[in-house]
């Protein structure tokens, strides 16, 4: 594991190309005495074709980091790039298009439309955008996620794990440059959660996708290639080739509740 230092850039940038990066990323909420510094000058590189997990105590800035990297939230200072495109300073319309065309999202709540079949849910964002899915790619995604025999089912006819796999396929359908997953296993029991994580792993290993996942669960983080640890709005450490046990050990150092 690395030794925390000040003013360093976290990520695997020296090993592989970068899918997204942030420099001096700062986000403050509120003003005056009530200001909360959710992100405090974060420098990070998100490696292309890898699975990155973001961990840290509640309120450490994980969701804010994800939202700023994905162009879902504005920044107070600093810069964010998706590949070579600087997204900080973009207008709302441009950002909406960039998110639609280049980023995939998964959330804790699966956010599937109940009246649509799995197949229709998977292609909905592309249908709305008026884009035709690449059928070969879509078939590959559906087979990798094991959804072939579930395509005609509506969400209510699917288990939680299957619903999240549909949400995963929807995130992958447009072959985005980057997939952000915010607690994707938060609503699942451990078996269904492990299944979704192994499909995310397959998306990276077999389909060459790039995934950034926010999680509280050391077991989930153990499926990633790199864990970034946040505390008080800063990245304070990283761990390559993590295991659930090593991540848990590292988390105990943040969380007084875990200290014996």
Ligand X SMILES: Nc1ncnc2c1ncn2[C@@H]1O[C@H](COP(=O)(O)OP(=O)(O)OP(=O)(O)O)[C@@H](O)[C@H]1O
Q: Return residues touching ligand X (CB under 6 A).
A: 29-30, 36, 38, 56, 58-64
Q: Which is nearer to ligand X, 36 or 109 (CB)?
A: 36
**Please, which residue, 55 or 145, has the CB nearer to ligand X?**
55
Sign of the Cα pseudo-torsion (138, 139, 141, 147, in order): positive
State in angstroms the smallest separation of the CB of 38 from ligand X: 3
Residue 159 DSSP one-character state: -
DSSP annotation of 156 reads G
Instruction: Answer positive or negative: Cα dihedral of 25, 30, 33, 38.
Output: negative
Structure tokens at 70: 């994905």
- Enumerate the β-bridge partners of residue 182: 214
**What is the DSSP-derived secondary structure letter of residue 3?**
P
Q: Residue 10 Cβ, how far from ligand X at the closest point, in Å?
A: 16
The smaller minimum CB distance to ligand X, of residues 30 and 89, is found at 30
Nearer to ligand X by Cβ, of 6 and 58: the residue is: 58
Instruction: Please report how close the Cβ of residue 164 comes to ligand X at its closest, in angstroms.
Output: 18
Q: Which is nearer to ligand X, 76 or 88 (CB)?
A: 76
Q: How far is the CB of 186 from ligand X (least distance, A)?
A: 10
Q: What is the DSSP string of 88-135?
A: TT--HHHHHHHHHHHEEEE-SS----TTS-HHHHHHHHHHHHT----H
Q: How far apart are CA 232 and CA 41, in angstroms?
A: 11
Q: How far is the CB of 213 from ligand X (least distance, A)?
A: 12
Here the tokens at position 81 are 């790039």
């Amino acid at each position: 594991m690395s030794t925390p230092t000040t003013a360093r850039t976290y990520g695997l940038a020296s090993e592989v190309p970068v899918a997204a990066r942030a420099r001096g990323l700062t986000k403050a909420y509120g003003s005056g005495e009530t200001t909360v510094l959710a992100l405090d000058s974060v420098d990070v590189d998100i490696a292309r074709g890898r699975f990155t997990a973001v961990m840290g105590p509640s309120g450490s800035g994980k969701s804010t980091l994800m939202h700023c990297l994905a162009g879902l939230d504005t920044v107070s200072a600093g810069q964010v790039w998706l590949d070579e495109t600087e997204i900080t300073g973009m207008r709302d319309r441009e950002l909406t298009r960039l998110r639609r065309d280049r980023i995939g999202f998964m959330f804790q709540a699966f956010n599937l439309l109940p009246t649509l079949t799995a197949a229709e849910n998977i292609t909905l964002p592309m249908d709305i955008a008026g884009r035709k899915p690449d059928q070969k790619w879509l078939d590959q995604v559906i087979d990798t996620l094991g959804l072939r025999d579930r395509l005609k089912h509506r969400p209510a006819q699917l288990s939680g794990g299957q619903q999240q796999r549909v949400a995963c396929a929807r995130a992958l359908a447009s072959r985005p440059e980057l997939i952000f997953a915010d607690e994707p296993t938060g609503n699942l029991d451990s078996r269904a959660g492990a299944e979704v994580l192994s499909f995310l792993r397959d998306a990276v290993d077999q389909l060459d996708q790039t995934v950034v996942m926010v999680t509280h669960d050391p077991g989930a983080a153990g499926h990633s290639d790199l864990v970034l640890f946040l505390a008080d709005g800063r990245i304070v450490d990283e761990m390559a080739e993590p295991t659930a046990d090593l991540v848990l050990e590292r988390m105990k150092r943040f969380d007084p509740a875990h200290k014996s």
